[in-house]
A and B are shown apart, each in its own frame.
Chain A
Amino acid sequence: METVITTDKLTKRFGSFVAASELSFEVHRGEIFGFLGANGAGKTTAMRMLCGLLTPSSGKARIAGFDIYHETEKIKRNIGYMSQKFSLYDDLTVSENIRFYAGIYGMSIPAIKQKTKELLEELQLVNEAKTLVRELPLGWKQKLAFSVSIVHDPEIVFLDEPTGGVDPVTRRQFWDLIYAAADKGVTIFVTTHYMDEAEYCNRVSIMVDGVIAALDSPAGLKHQYGNQSMEDVFYELARKAKRGE
């Protein structure tokens, strides 16, 4: 299997505090990889390193084939990122948001035009192209936010709690989009606090106190810890956390 993320003892220290300690794992092409952890376990630090936004203290990593120390700009061009908190500009229209993100990623004007047309059709938003994003229902916004995060056809997309606060139906529709993107070969790296969503991932890692405490398929983890659900597995691992958050 082709790997798109490889890390080897990736570590980040802030002074004497080791935020992320010797993370070693691989993520395969087209995989949905769930990156879980308690608050303060070091998830954000790890994500920031993987996205080329934070220089590691030690260890190695390659993201989409690029070195995490020397090729961060190439990494940024080859990944997408979406968070629940901030993704779209409310005071821009649907097509302006697409154009903005595509432009940021350096796509040519003809390519942007073509992509906008495709996306609007795919999302069934043709009639809403000139609607301000703030006027869209939350579910449509979510879909649009996800689509613009992969507008430049990245190898990997990082989703940081993409479904927080979303209603139960929209949350599940969002996972349909994730599945569809993964089927096309986009690698999905996702964090979530919904433990039922951890079950939708191919593999899941759980960080506790800066280290990866467990990594396997949801079925494998449940078997290993003798638990009924991912929530039980997570609870068992995360409650052992000693770090004062």
Chain B
Amino acid sequence: MITIDKLTKTYNKGQVLAIKDVSLEVKRGELFGLIGPDGAGKTTIFRILTTLLLADKGTATVNGCDVVKDYVKIRNNVGYMPGRFSLYQDLTIEENLNFFATVFGTSIRENYDLIKDIYIQIEPFKDRRAGKLSGGMKQKLALCCALIHKPAVLFLDEPTTGVDVVSRKEFWEMLARLKAEGITIMVSTPYMDEANRCDRIALIQKGQILSVDTPAGIVGQFPVDLYAVHSANTHKLLREVRNYPGTDSCFAFGDALHVTFKGGAAGAHEAGAGPAGLTNYLRERGLADVGMEKIPPGVEDCFIQLLKS
């Protein structure tokens, strides 16, 4: 449904590299996630695919259409929700939706079924101006406007950034329903925990793809054993585990530390090294309540690991 072949894009006359040799394929009906921090190049990829920006090198197609030659066709067949709220602030909810329907030669009634679940949540406020809406309502309106012409592909650039946990959960449930309608969705997010909601994901950093796979596949590639280490005094624990000679990496994850050890499985059984030696090491330094267990890695662990290599 979407093919990207060695796309490169620079800004400021070649001084700033946005993306380099990015290649990807998204299948029909897939919910595909671009996962990476600000400045990784996610928005550049979206803007090239939605024909709003020309790449320096490489080619891309959306629904069989070339992003340069067939840009008019693409524009009629895709929905795009940019990262920055881009609706008309001084038009009401209903006026905005009517405007986008009219521009695409359709009407709210014609495709109402597609947006109904989302629209009924904001319909009570349909006479309110878009500029006066809360973040969660703006997000729902923007999604309705991007859907009103029943696009084959939906591009969502960081729809959940700055949105609270409850609204984020609701939003991903909406995406699952749209996927069930057969719409191909490409969505970006800086929240690693949202990766599991996607069929496949690309981890992206500094304009380059680190890895592309299903979330389970990405997690399966984690190269070493990962341990969760707990103590009531997380702050002190963090300092001491970092000082431990056998520690390879150590990062705080909520109320635990996620730790990998040098030497992989071999180091694990040597006295004074690996996980076996850590508990003693910490006890000698006044941390008696330490708990440790081997855990399966998450997507965020994998991202950190990939940044390291």
Residues of A within 8 A of B (CB): 37-40, 138, 161, 164-170, 172, 175, 179, 193-196, 199-200, 218-219, 229-231, 234-235, 238-239, 241, 244-245
Contacts and interface: CB of A to CB of B under 8 A. Distances in A.
Nearest to B169: A235
B254 A196 contact: yes
7 contacts: A165-B37, A168-B307, A169-B307, A196-B254, A235-B166, A239-B166, A241-B166
B125 A38 contact: no
B166 A167 contact: no
A238 B164 contact: yes
Interface SS majority for chain B: mixed
Contacts, number: 90
Nearest to A218: B255
A138 B251 contact: no
Contacts of A235: 165-166, 169
B254 A199 contact: yes
A41 to B, nearest CB: 8
B165 A195 contact: yes
B301 to A, nearest CB: 9
B114 to A, nearest CB: 23
Contacts of B1: none
Most chain A beta-carbon neighbours within 10 Å: one of B134, B158, B165, B192: B165
Contact of B165 (A199, A218, A234, A245): A234
A63 B153 CA distance: 51
Contacts of B232: 219
Interface residues of B, number: 36
Nearest to A161: B162
Interface string B83-99: 00000000000000000
A172 to B, nearest CB: 5
Given A39-B167, A245-B136, 6 more contacts: A38-B164, A138-B37, A161-B162, A193-B163, A244-B134, A244-B137
B135 A245 contact: yes
Contacts of B191: 194
A168 B166 contact: no
Most chain B beta-carbon neighbours within 10 Å: one of A165, A166, A175: A165
B134 A40 contact: yes
B164 A39 contact: yes
Contacts of B40: 167
A61 B7 CA distance: 56
A239 B254 CA distance: 21
B38 A138 contact: yes
CB-based closest 7 A-B pairs = A245-B134, A167-B37, A165-B38, A199-B254, A196-B254, A38-B164, A199-B255
A165 B190 contact: yes
Contact of A39 (B37, B163, B190, B192): B163
Nearest to B133: A245
B72 interface: no
Contacts of B162: 161, 164, 193
